[in-house]
Amino acid sequence: MARLFRDPRRDSASSSSNGFAPPAASPAASALPSPFPDLGVQLSAAELRETAYEVLVAASRTTGGKPLTYIPQAGPASPASVSSASSVNSSSSSLQRSLTSAAASKMKKALGLKSSASSKGGSPGSGGAGVKAAPRRPATVGELMRAQMRVSEPADARIRRGLLRIAAGQLGRRAEAMVLPLEFLQQFKASDFPDLQEHEAWQGRNLKLIEAGLLVHPFVPLNKSDSSAQRLKQIIRGAYDRPLETGKNSESMQVLRTAVMSLAGRSHDGTSDGCHWADGFPLNLHLYQMLVEACFDSDDSTVVDEIDEVIELLKKTWVILGINQMLHNLCFAWALFNHFVMSGQVDIELLSAAENQLVEVAKDAKTTKDPNYCKVLSSTLSSIMGWTEKRLLAYHETFNTSNIESMQGIVSIGVTAAKVLVEDISHEYRRRRKEETDVARSRIETYVRSSLRTAFAQRMEEADSKRSSRNPTPVMSILAKDIGDLAIKEKNLYSPILKTWHPLASGVAVATLHSCYGSELKQFIAGLTELTPETVQVLKSADKLEKDLVNIAVEDSVDSDDGGKSLIREMPPYEAENAIANLVKVWIKERVDRLKGWVDRNLKQETWSPGANRDNFAPSSVEMLRIIGETLDAFFELPIPMHPALLPDLTAGLDRSLQLYVSKAKSGCGSRSSFMPELPPLTRCEVGSKLLFKKKEKPQNPQHRGPQNGATNGTDPLGLPQLCVRLNTLQYIRSELENLEKKIKTCLRNVESAQADITNGLEFKFELCQAACQEGIQHLCETTAYKVTFFDLGHILWDTLYIGDIASSRVDLLLRELDPILETISGTVHIKVRNRAITALMKATFDGFLLVILAGGPLRAFTRQDSQIIEGDFRSLRDLFLADGDGLPEELVDKASSQVKNVLPLLRTESEGLIERFKRLIAESDQSRTASRGKLPMPTTTGHWSPNDANTVLRVLCYRHEEAATRFLKKTYGLPKKL
């Protein structure tokens, strides 16, 4: 065992990693680096431990009031122990005090530790046959301390023998007034050791202790010019090269004593009541920490049941080491925490005890401003905080269901350390204290955000690895699912613990996850160019994740001061639905543009042939409606959650495409005005001339415009059959719109996002197309009617009807030409628009008939007697459209013919009566002008023929074959007889 003290390599590993002694048994995990400053002297853990034991025994001896004795408890008695046993019956030193029952440990109760006495085994010798007896417990605190500090019995005997010699030579002198290393050097020579090597190691240890305590870390700072210090340095350096001759009568020892005592006796106030060789920072802390290690069982690192007695014993060393209650609390807190770490973080009792002890340290930190204490406090708490933060900044990696119990204590310790460092040590905090910084909340928020970001990055890697040929799910969808699970785990496992310090821990966590996923989603959306099932799947997953995260944040912040508004502001919407909507709108635009292009191309090729199908409408309309139906089917097959919201965009686009088709179907057909003839200038009849009836001259017809393309053959796209097909096509489209609307409503009820009453209040009407069809049918009916009347039958109206002899140029020819036209319309045009087409033709025919009478040109002249023929012709024209009850309704025919019927009575009115009527109408319409100029003005042609229209009456006079009429026209307006 002696080699344990002379071989510093034995403890070099422990010394380098911890700076104080670890338990003898192999720990489950490495100890933490020592938070205390480096000694600056090569003292191993074993050397420090042996010195600490010497201090302990010396301090106990001087406080006990009785001579120092020792009774060995294990194995045969050694000579040293026998020699010291003579006074055992008459002495009762502190080290010999019997151990009390562990059940009475007040300190363990205060720390929250349970007694382990019941699990340590029975009394000595209780083991039966075949059963291994439990190890015997030490009977005294002295034996326990020797065992805990791993001091051999021979070494212990030498220490006690040396102390007895010291006491004999310095009666009444207390240990704190002696330099123990110096005293031991003077009491022992090389012959007191088993071999020279052990003596040299022992001497080297004591010299290094003197160097550390008086030269490197003196209690009172040294002056550079201090001769004693220089002398001591020389002696120690020389001793390293050539060992000193030790012993009472050694001259070298006398020189050493003189140098040592002159330095050890110094004090700040000039008085000397002790020897300051071991109470300077950090030597005293390293020595005391070796003593504190005795509080932990060397087998399993648990706190010994005899902790009360051990601590009371340790307190006796405070006067030598310059330790006080605050330093003890700090050292003990560090030891508890370090042993928890060494236990592999499984001994929750140690963690709880460290947490409780750290509370005492926090109280101490508020009551002192000692710079040495604050420096050690800062380094110790920084070390503790560094260890805790390494785990808490990524607590998802550190804690799970199997070890979550330790998280509460680790967080508490980390937060407490942070608060002390910031609130009690940091000068910056003191300057900014008015801001009321919440250190605990700030640290928890840092832990949450850091850990969640780390966990998110790991989930990203995992999501990428999960995708394969067998699992084509997009990475972002997998990630959304994993993040959702992570948020639930956070809420259920970690947040209940973290809420102790941060009431919105869950909210902060989900806000962090929301931000992390949002950054990835933003990049994903930025790279989208088209709508695919994979894209929609990602965006739907993102939308679901966002809803879940926001719900957690809202639940977590219900009772917060701002109701969670600050957290929600941290979570700007992903707008996944907007991203989907924008992609769908692009999809809709592409489909609509494609359809418009199709309309442009196909209508240029459409022939409007009546024989193309049974119902006589354009095949292109059938194809277009088929494309629209397929587009609707494709839209409702899109895996999107907002069909109702985006459907109006699609229907509007399709509506515009249909409107374009209708517009092009009627374009190029002309209009009513394009076929109306220009009225010829007014003339008067030449009464008495026989040329009007006998001279055969080329009729001078009013000019009129033909169809725009001028085609007249059987393939004329503006022929009557083709115009009828156009009418049917518009009617077919109009009738199919209702089916499209029904199809939309049916599809809408079946989509994933639909609700029971999804279509209630929603109108998906093709209003543009409906209006265009309505207007187009009306337009085509009028265009067809006026084209047939004024273009196709113009030669009859202008060249034949009432030219020359009225009786021989009646309306019969016109009726014969109209009959097959009516048959074509009836046989071609759809029944729902047939009457409209025939009605339009009837109105156009009546307009043409009236135009011949009122603006037929100078080759026409009528007498009052001709009115009967004309009225009879008009009745025949009406009867054609009535068709003996099989044609148009009589009410409709009466309404359309009312204008003609109102004008015809003027033809049988006397000329004088017409002149008087004309003058009256002119006067009523423009009295002031008549009065000022003294003549009748020329009335304007409005085209609205009426017996109350001055222009209508004037035209009847122009075509009146009678002297009174022609004389009035010549005198009043000077109208010519010819054009």
More confident residue, 316 or 72: 316
Residue 849: band (very low, low, confident or very high) from pLDDT cuts 50, 70, 90: very high
pLDDT reported for residue 978: 80
SS3 303: strand
Residue 925: band (very low, low, confident or very high) from pLDDT cuts 50, 70, 90: confident
Interval 712-728 mean pLDDT: 79
| Residue pair 332/107 in contact by the 8 Å Cβ criterion | no
| Model pLDDT for residues 207-247, shown as the tens digit of each residue | 999 999 999 999 888 887 788 889 999 999 988 888 888 87
pLDDT reported for residue 82: 31
SS3 for 873-884, per residue? HHHHHHHHHHHH
pLDDT reported for residue 640: 80
Is 577-672+716-774 a CATH 3.30.70.1230 domain? no
Q: Is the pLDDT of residue 585 over 70?
A: yes
- 504: CB partners within 8 A, 6+ apart: 556, 557, 560, 564, 567
What are residue 140's DSSP bridge partners? 98
Interval 876-901 mean pLDDT: 92
Among candidates 933, 882, 876, 924, which has minimal Cα distance to 900? 876
| Model pLDDT for residues 295-345, shown as the tens digit of each residue | 998 777 889 988 999 999 999 999 999 999 999 999 999 999 999 999 888
pLDDT reported for residue 723: 93
What percent of the chain is modeled with pLDDT above 90? 53
Measure the CA–CA gap between 57 and 141, rounded to whole angstroms: 11
Angle at 785 between CA 784 and CA 789, to 5 degrees: 115
Interval 549-576 mean pLDDT: 84
The label of the residue with tokens 């992570």 reads: 486
| Model pLDDT for residues 498-557, shown as the tens digit of each residue | 999 999 999 999 999 999 999 999 999 888 888 888 888 898 899 999 999 999 998 888
| Model pLDDT for residues 475-510, shown as the tens digit of each residue | 999 999 999 999 999 999 999 999 999 999 999 999
Strand locations in 760-866, DSSP E?
A: none
pLDDT reported for residue 271: 67
Measure the CA–CA gap between 64 and 84, rounded to whole angstroms: 16
SS3 528: coil
Q: Is the pLDDT of residue 686 over 70?
A: yes
Mean per-residue pLDDT of the chain? 83
SS3 for 711-733, per residue? CCCCCCCCCHHHHHHHHHHHHHH
Poorest-pLDDT segment among 79-83, 617-621, 654-658, 733-737: 79-83
pLDDT reported for residue 106: 84
pLDDT reported for residue 26: 39
Q: Is the pLDDT of residue 714 over 60?
A: no
pLDDT reported for residue 688: 64
Query: Residue 534 burial by CB count (10 A; 0-12/13-18/19+): exposed, middle or buried?
Result: middle
| Model pLDDT for residues 944-970, shown as the tens digit of each residue | 999 999 999 999 999 999 999 999 999
| Residue pair 629/658 in contact by the 8 Å Cβ criterion | no
| Model pLDDT for residues 156-188, shown as the tens digit of each residue | 999 999 999 888 887 778 888 899 999 999 888
pLDDT reported for residue 878: 94
Query: Residue 816 burial by CB count (10 A; 0-12/13-18/19+): exposed, middle or buried?
Result: exposed
pLDDT reported for residue 623: 94
pLDDT reported for residue 957: 93
Poorest-pLDDT segment among 155-169, 362-376, 468-482, 866-880: 468-482
Residue 23: band (very low, low, confident or very high) from pLDDT cuts 50, 70, 90: very low
Residue 671: band (very low, low, confident or very high) from pLDDT cuts 50, 70, 90: confident
Measure the CA–CA gap between 185 and 256, rounded to whole angstroms: 10
- 680: CB partners within 8 A, 6+ apart: 700, 702, 855, 857, 858, 979
Residue 701: band (very low, low, confident or very high) from pLDDT cuts 50, 70, 90: very low
Residue 697: band (very low, low, confident or very high) from pLDDT cuts 50, 70, 90: very low
Measure the CA–CA gap between 92 and 69, rounded to whole angstroms: 8
pLDDT reported for residue 104: 54
Supply the DSSP string of 427-479, one letter for each residue.
Answer: HHHHHTGGG---HHHHHHHHHHHHHHHHHHHHHHHHHHHH--SS----HHHHH
Which residue type, as a one-letter code, is found at position 382? S
Which residue type, as a one-letter code, is found at position 879? D
Measure the CA–CA gap between 728 and 829, rounded to whole angstroms: 6
Measure the CA–CA gap between 853 and 75, rounded to whole angstroms: 153
| Model pLDDT for residues 47-65, shown as the tens digit of each residue | 999 999 999 999 987 654 4
Interval 736-761 mean pLDDT: 74
